[in-house]
């Protein structure tokens, strides 16, 4: 593990080398090799090109409700992680809940479609996991597409898709940048970040390599009191819950002939968590209390290898994307209180619980996008993925066997493995009915298969090993999309669409038989279910109906986009809680409706002053109660606020002939919602919160120096009651929260 001094010293050496390399340059270059600018040079907004529809288009011509943050905006907001940009996306909500633990538990919901695997998360053309939090360095842009994207992006894009698009190697110009900074967090200590990227042409206009690397340390801000209760603690540990991240990527561009590019890329990231990052009892409380000092926290390691081939011919472009993704997560929690309560022990015994979570996925996509001269265009492609996800839980109590007369100290051992394969053929066809009227029909055929095995042992599973092999399940079907778009003027686009979304089914764990607290028979009976009837669950589906407009006004000094939608969701995959035995299963039942709108605008109010606004409203609620779930008709979808608002204002003004000063303020409002990760009968309220950020400094063609404050008002936002690896004690929830007020300085050097 790298130490702080070694990282800083390497950063200083890299900065010095960068300055020497760039000393002969009169103007700096952006990471893509284009010239930077000392200040605003236009009264109109820049065009933003996206690839959301598998084609390169101006975002204002794409008939999809979407938010795009380009590299300049990401830098202006000091974005490093998901929370830095997630609060600024209309009708995007997030929080703990996609899985247990904190390193792989964050879920994302778009337009109220909440739950595991409802949001597609991509790095370039590669599907990864919505729980992933890639460090934002050398990123060209982030595209957030609202509404089902099933036709082009597959099963996990039921409510929408988040795409992180990396910068590509450039074979025509040498360029790069170095960024470093330090900050302090209230109730914590010092944080640091060092990162850089470089693009090197090896053969002019033919071969290039691009590489980036980063290191970041965020100090912990919790205090952990150790000692039996009641009574004062024996001692206190501070700075608990900190994290260290490091990683990087390298990509090679090879252009052997005109029209053909081959780009292999490898990315990796490693995260170390130094203690459990949970607030206890309320989001405001930064004091944790445990009887024993059992080490908590964990590691998250992932890497992604991809190979992209683009071949352009007169009729269109053929793209092949091959990728292998691997992720390994290990976490430890202190489950002493739970074991003591469940077994009625006379006194606590140290009881750690660990979980290993591994996932590997191979994905292959081949598609052809036409560029025909007439009114007809099409995309046709195929997709295949093969993934495995084993989990391994182990819960022990030191001295448990002697305390309860059991032959060993194993409270629970649980290993399961899920395998999934997806086959798909997809395409869409568009036709210009008139010069300003276009119709598009999209269709995806899919076939999904799933396997599941489970091995259990330990006191809570009857004290004897058992093996469960579920029969293979499979589903197939079609998901269509219909779109009609009309250009009112060259700068005003209107559209209406209907699209079907889909989330694949799977298998439930095998529940332990017998009476509570170790068996689930009584829970199943209370819910009107049987063990044989809950071995698996099916896909759930929805239809999204949308009407939108995109406009560029006043010679593109202003963009104004709006969309209204309604979504009907059926056979919802819902958690059925089994409170007496402490387990949960997934079942298909109930219906919901999500209705709302998004409004986005960007404006250059003056040549030196820009303003942005995003507003989302979403009424997502249950319309038919599901079997075994307490959500009655009219209940809100959990973790989905009705209102999301974000706005920003940035001002630039020349200070000298070479230097420009700037200042920027960002503000976001996330409305109230409810979380039922651990208590469905009495869901916990997540209060509305506001996040304000401030950044100001100066830049020239090569350097940028800035000071910033994140979470200016020191808000402690409740991001959901944590789904612990073990179990939560009723009435004693733990919460994932955001980082307190953090202030710092940073410097960036660009060179070519």
Q: Measured between alpha carbons, how far is 362 from 322 in angstroms, rounded to an integer?
A: 8
Q: Measured between alpha carbons, how far is 13 from 6 in angstroms, rounded to an integer?
A: 11
Is the pTM of the predicted complex or chain greater than 0.85?
yes
pLDDT of residue 212: 97
Q: Measured between alpha carbons, how far is 106 from 327 in angstroms, rounded to an integer?
A: 15
Q: Order of strands, edge to edge, in the sheet holding 126-127?
A: 66-70, 139-146, 160-166, 119-123, 126-127
Kindly state the tokens that stand for 630.
């307490």
Distances, alpha carbon 430 to alpha carbons 383, 445, 446, 481, 492, in Å: 21, 18, 21, 12, 19
Query: Over pLDDT 90: what percentage of the chain?
Result: 73
pLDDT of residue 1: 38
- By the 8 A CB rule, do 32 and 175 touch? yes
Distances, alpha carbon 706 to alpha carbons 4, 221, 655, 743, 747, in Å: 22, 24, 15, 11, 6
pLDDT of residue 41: 52
- By the 8 A CB rule, do 426 and 383 touch? yes
pLDDT of residue 170: 95
**Partners of residue 396 on adjacent β-strands:** 410
Q: Which residues contact 257 (CB under 8 A, 6 or more apart)?
A: none
Burial of 332 by CB count in 10 Å (0-12 exposed, 13-18 middle, 19+ buried)? buried
- Nearest CA to 339 out of 441, 428, 412 is that of 412
Beta strands (DSSP E) in 234-375 are 235-240, 242-254, 260-274, 278-280, 287-290, 297-313, 316-334, 352-370
Residue with tokens 């140290």: 350
pLDDT of residue 749: 97
pLDDT of residue 254: 97
- By the 8 A CB rule, do 353 and 391 touch? no
- By the 8 A CB rule, do 542 and 568 touch? yes
Number of domains in the chain: 1
Enumerate residue ranges in the chain where pLDDT < 50: 1-39
Strand 222-226 to strand 287-290: parallel, antiparallel, or no bridges (unpaired)?
Answer: parallel
Q: Order of strands, edge to edge, in the sheet holding 718-721?
A: 278-280, 734-737, 718-721
Q: Measured between alpha carbons, how far is 247 from 354 in angstroms, rounded to an integer?
A: 25
Q: Measured between alpha carbons, how far is 410 from 389 in angstroms, rounded to an integer?
A: 24
pLDDT of residue 218: 96
- By the 8 A CB rule, do 626 and 590 touch? yes
**Angle at 162 (CA atoms; ends 157, 166), nearest 5 degrees:** 130
Q: Measured between alpha carbons, how far is 297 from 101 in angstroms, rounded to an integer?
A: 9
Domain residues for 375?
4-751
Kindly state the tokens that stand for 720.
């959901």
Q: Measured between alpha carbons, how far is 158 from 620 in angstroms, rounded to an integer?
A: 15
Q: Cα(first)–Cα(last) distance of the chain, in Å?
A: 31
**Angle at 430 (CA atoms; ends 551, 119), nearest 5 degrees:** 70
- By the 8 A CB rule, do 348 and 336 touch? yes
pLDDT of residue 358: 94
Q: Measured between alpha carbons, how far is 700 from 750 in angstroms, rounded to an integer?
A: 10
Region of residue 84 (phi > 0: left; psi between -120 and 50: alpha; otherwise: beta): alpha
Residue with tokens 């603690």: 233
- Nearest CA to 588 out of 505, 494, 688, 653 is that of 505
- By the 8 A CB rule, do 30 and 176 touch? no
Distances, alpha carbon 436 to alpha carbons 378, 432, 433, 485, 614, in Å: 18, 7, 8, 8, 28
Q: Measured between alpha carbons, how far is 111 from 139 in angstroms, rounded to an integer?
A: 25
**Helix, strand, or coil (residue 165):** strand
pLDDT of residue 34: 38
Region of residue 662 (phi > 0: left; psi between -120 and 50: alpha; otherwise: beta): beta
Strand 160-166 to strand 119-123: parallel, antiparallel, or no bridges (unpaired)?
Answer: parallel
- Alpha carbon 633 to its chain's center: 30
DSSP secondary structure code for residue 460 in this structure: G
- Alpha carbon 17 to its chain's center: 35
**Angle at 325 (CA atoms; ends 270, 86), nearest 5 degrees:** 65
Buried/exposed code over 403-416 (b: 16+ C-beta within 10 A; e: otherwise): beebeebbbbbbbb
What CATH number does residue 531 fall under?
Answer: 2.40.170.20
């Amino acid at each position: 593990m790298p130490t702080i001094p070694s990282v800083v010293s390497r950063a200083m050496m890299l900065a010095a080398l960068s300055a020497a390399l760039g000393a002969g340059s009169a103007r700096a270059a952006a990471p893509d090799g284009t010239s930077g600018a000392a200040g605003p040079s236009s009264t109109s907004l820049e065009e933003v090109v996206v690839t959301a529809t598998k084609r390169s288009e101006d975002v204002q011509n794409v008939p999809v409700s979407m938010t795009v943050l380009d590299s300049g905006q990401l830098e202006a907001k000091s974005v490093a992680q998901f929370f830095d940009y997630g609060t600024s996306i209309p009708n995007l909500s997030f929080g703990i809940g996609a899985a247990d633990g904190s390193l792989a538990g964050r879920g994302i919901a778009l337009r109220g479609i909440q739950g595991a695997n409802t949001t597609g998360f991509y790095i370039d053309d590669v599907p990864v996991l919505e729980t992933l939090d890639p460090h934002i360095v050398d990123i060209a842009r982030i595209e957030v597409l609202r509404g089902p994207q099933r036709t082009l992006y597959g099963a996990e894009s039921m409510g929408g898709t988040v795409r992180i698009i990396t910068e590509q190697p450039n074979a025509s110009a040498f360029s790069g940048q170095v960024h470093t900074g330090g900050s302090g967090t209230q109730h914590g200590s010092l944080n640091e970040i060092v990162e850089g990227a470089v693009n090197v042409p090896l053969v002019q206009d033919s071969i290039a390599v691009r590489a980036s690397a980063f290191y970041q340390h965020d100090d912990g801000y919790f205090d952990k009191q150790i000692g039996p209760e009641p009574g004062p603690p024996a001692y206190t540990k501070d700075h608990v819950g900190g994290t260290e991240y490091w990683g990087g990527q390298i990509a090679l561009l090879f252009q052997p002939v005109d029209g053909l590019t081959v780009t292999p890329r490898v990315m990796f990231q490693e995260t170390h968590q130094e203690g459990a990052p949970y607030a206890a009892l309320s989001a405001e409380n930064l004091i944790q209390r445990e009887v024993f000092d059992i080490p908590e926290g964990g590691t998250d390691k992932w890497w992604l290898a991809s190979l992209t081939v683009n071949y352009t011919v007169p009729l269109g472009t053929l793209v092949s994307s091959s990728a292998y993704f691997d992720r390994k997560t290990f976490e430890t929690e202190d489950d002493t209180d739970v074991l003591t309560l469940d077994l009625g022990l006379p006194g606590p015994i140290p009881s750690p619980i660990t979980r290993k979570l591994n996932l590997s996925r191979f994905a292959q996509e081949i598609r052809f996008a036409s560029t025909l001269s007439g009114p007809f265009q099409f995309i046709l492609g195929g997709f295949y993925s093969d993934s495995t996800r084993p989990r391994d839980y182990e819960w022990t109590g030191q001295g448990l066997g002697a305390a309860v007369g059991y032959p060993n100290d194993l409270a629970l051992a649980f290993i399961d493995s899920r395998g999934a394969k997806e086959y798909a053929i997809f395409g869409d066809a568009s036709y210009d009915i008139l010069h300003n009227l276009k119709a598009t029909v999209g269709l995806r055929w899919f076939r999904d298969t799933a396997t599941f095995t489970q091995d259990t042992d330990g006191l809570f599973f009857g004290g004897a090993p058992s093996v469960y092999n579920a029969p293979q399940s499979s589903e197939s079907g079609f998901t269509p999309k219909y779109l009609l778009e009309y250009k009112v003027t060259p700068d005003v686009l209107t559209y209406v669409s209907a699209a079907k979304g889909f989330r694949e089914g799977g298998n439930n764990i095998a529940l332990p038989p017998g009476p509570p607290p170790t068996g689930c028979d009584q829970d199943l009976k209370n819910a009107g279910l049987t063990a044989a009837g809950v071995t698996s669950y099916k896909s759930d589906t929805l239809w999204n109906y949308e009407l939108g407009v995109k406009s560029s006004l006043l010679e593109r000094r202003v963009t104004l986009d709006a969309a209204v939608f309604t979504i009907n969701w059926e056979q919802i995959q819902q958690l059925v809680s089994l409170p007496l035995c402490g387990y949960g299963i997934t079942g298909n039942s109930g219906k919901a409706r999500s209705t709302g709108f998004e409004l986005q605008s960007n404006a250059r109010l003056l040549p030196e002053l820009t303003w942005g606004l995003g507003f989302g409203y979403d009424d997502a609620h249950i319309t038919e109660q599901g079997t075994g779930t307490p959500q009655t008709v009219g209940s809100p979808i959990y973790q989905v606020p009705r209102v999301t608002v974000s706005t920003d204002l940035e001002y630039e003004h020349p200070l000298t002939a070479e230097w420009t000063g700037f200042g920027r303020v960002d503000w976001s409002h996330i409305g109230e919602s409810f979380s039922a990760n651990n208590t469905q009968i009495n869901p916990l309220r997540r209060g509305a919160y506001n996040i304000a950020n401030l950044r100001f400094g100066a830049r020239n063609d090569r350097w940028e120096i800035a000071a910033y404050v994140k979470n200016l008002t020191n808000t402690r936002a409740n991001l959901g009651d944590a789904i612990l690896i073990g179990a939560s004690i009723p009435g004693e929830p733990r919460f994932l929260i955001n980082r307190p007020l953090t202030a710092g300085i940073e410097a960036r050097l660009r060179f070519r």
